[in-house]
């Protein structure tokens, strides 16, 4: 069994997650700007239960968007680091393999 990793493909997926993170951040910014906080009335009444529900949903949705931005940010960074790791691993392996071969005199052009 062998594992073949293409660092560029891993990096490209990281770029897609980076774009998704930017989109999630835009959603978060839009949500914060367009969904206002509701001030509860002191005297109670019919509007207060709706206001409390709105506040709860707003808080939970805001926390979910924060989590999504954070998760996508950490994931895209981890994929970039993974791609770098595989590139270094491949370079190190190739260098070790090259060093294991004995030196060979190369033919000089024009001399037979």
pTM, two decimals, is 0.69
pLDDT in tens, the chain (112 residues): 677 888 899 999 999 999 999 999 999 999 989 988 877 666 556 667 778 888 889 999 999 999 999 999 999 999 999 999 988 887 777 777 777 777 777 777 776 5
Helices 7-34, 47-100: inter-axial angle, 10-degree rounding: 160
**Under a CB-based contact definition with an 8 Å cutoff, are residues 100 and 21 in contact?**
no
* Alpha carbons 50 and 38: distance in angstroms, whole number: 9
**What is the model's pLDDT at position 100?**
77
Stated length of the chain: 112
Integer CA distances (angstroms), 10 to 21, 56, 72, in order: 16, 39, 15
Write phi, then psi, for 84 (nearest 5 degrees): -60, -40
Q: What is the DSSP letter of 101?
A: S
Query: What are the tokens at 57?
Result: 């949903």
15's CB contacts (< 8 A; 6+ apart) are 76
């Amino acid at each position: 069994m062998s594992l073949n990793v293409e660092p560029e493909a891993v990096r490209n997926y990281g770029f897609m997650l980076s774009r998704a993170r930017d989109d999630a951040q835009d959603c978060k910014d839009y949500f914060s700007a367009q969904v206002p906080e509701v001030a509860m009335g002191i005297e109670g009444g019919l509007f207060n239960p709706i206001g409390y529900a709105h506040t709860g949903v707003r808080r939970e949705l805001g926390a979910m968007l924060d989590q999504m931005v954070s998760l996508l940010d950490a994931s895209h960074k981890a994929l970039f680091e993974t791609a770098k790791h595989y590139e270094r691993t491949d370079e190190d392996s190739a260098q070790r393999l090259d060093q294991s071969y004995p030196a060979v005199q190369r033919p000089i052009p024009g001399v037979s």
